[in-house]
Chains A and B, each alone.
Chain A
Amino acid sequence: MATFPPLKTGAVAQYPAIKSLRFQNQIVRFVDGNEQRYRDSAGPLHRWVIRLDQLDETELASLEDFFLSNQGSFASFIFIDPWDGTSYPNCSVLSDQLQLISIEELQNTTSVTVTENRG
């Protein structure tokens, strides 16, 4: 399985980096105001927002190629959490859209949101 491509430095993210985790709980509310909550999933799913600046053309092309080879949000890949090094084996790009901006030579920027999948 493919792995999210690191930059030339070996890092996969730059500051500011955003990480979130999401549960999938359900709430049943009763007419007297009480409510009952229950888990509707096996556990949390993680999501990472990776904003990358000052990339060179090689790094940008590598990310673009990765997006294309995954057909956007379709395919799954392994993502290594840059916070703790945990390997998440079933992740995908969240969006079917990737914007690549070349400000000048060796000054390229893009942003990718990676989401963990279940099932």
Chain B
Amino acid sequence: MYPQLTTGAYSQFPLRKQRRTRTVTNMAADGSSIKLADPNAAVTEWQLRYEGLSDTELSNLQQFFAAAEGSLNGFTFLDPAGNLLAWSEDLTNAVWEPGPLLASAGGVTDPFGGNSAFTLTNSGAGAQSVTQTLNVPTGYIYSLSVYVQAAQPTTVTLLLGSISAHATAGPNWTRISVAGSGDPTAASIPFGIELPPGAIGVFGPQVEVQAKPSAYQKSTTGGVYQDARFGDDTFSFATTGVNRHSVTVNIVYANHL
């Protein structure tokens, strides 16, 4: 698992991310073309620049690089600039696990003026939840955030592993959040929202590997990369002062590896 800094941050600014796909194109003389996509050739790269690292943080990174043997071995990497949840605007997708008495209806006006929000209706007598389980390091700090809205003030519960946080949904869209870590003995963390009998509006669930949520980011593929690798076989750092180091790390994730 790629190490977090002691602050709980996963990376620093500036952060570069590059998406590469492969399209085979047959271009005719008149400018028309025939294209063929090659989804397995997609590559995502990150360039993480760290400044002011402590001795401990540098040591953690260095040990992790040595354990991975440079670009040889894969590891789990969490996109520091993305929403870790998949299909954040489709709560009916199979990645979401709804309770048996919970119904999702899309096409609801969202807080950004679109129609990507959902109405969750709990027709049961007890609380029901919709969750998505991520295979991520359980000891890291995560934030879960979501926009909620209800016609009548309704208490909803955010679920982050075994952590439950209550908040009230009212007539206006409100973003609620919770931060914390998962169960250290577990292999994954369920993230979700629980509601009492009735209906609420939900938009933009987001999980990030940091203590506070950033602006909402739509996702389809999610931000958990299970077999990422270092892009280089070299790890070099500069020591700029006592207990201060700077490093640049390149991470690569390729669909075909």
Q: Which residues does A use to contact B, with CB under 8 Å?
A: 8, 22, 24, 26, 40-42, 45, 56-58, 60-62, 64-65, 67-69, 71-75, 92, 96-106, 117-119
Contacts and interface: CB of A to CB of B under 8 A. Distances in A.
Contact of B21 (A56, A60, A73, A103): A73
Q: Does more than half of chain A's interface fall in helix, strand or loop, or is it mixed? A: mixed
Interface residues of B, number: 35
Interface stretch (B51-59, B97-105, B125-133, B213-221): B213-221
Interface of B: 13-23, 25, 28-33, 35-37, 39, 42, 81-83, 112, 214-221
**Which of A57, A58, A99, A118 has the largest count of B CB atoms less than 10 A from its CB?**
A57
A96 B37 CA distance: 10
Given A57-B214, A57-B217, A100-B81, A40 B21 contact: no
A56 B81 contact: no
Nearest to B46: A100
A96 B81 CA distance: 20
The 6 closest A-B pairs by CB, nearest first: A119-B32, A72-B21, A61-B217, A57-B215, A74-B37, A102-B15
20 contacts: A24-B30, A41-B30, A56-B215, A61-B83, A61-B216, A61-B219, A67-B19, A68-B21, A72-B22, A73-B25, A73-B35, A74-B21, A74-B36, A99-B17, A101-B14, A101-B17, A102-B17, A102-B81, A118-B32, A119-B31
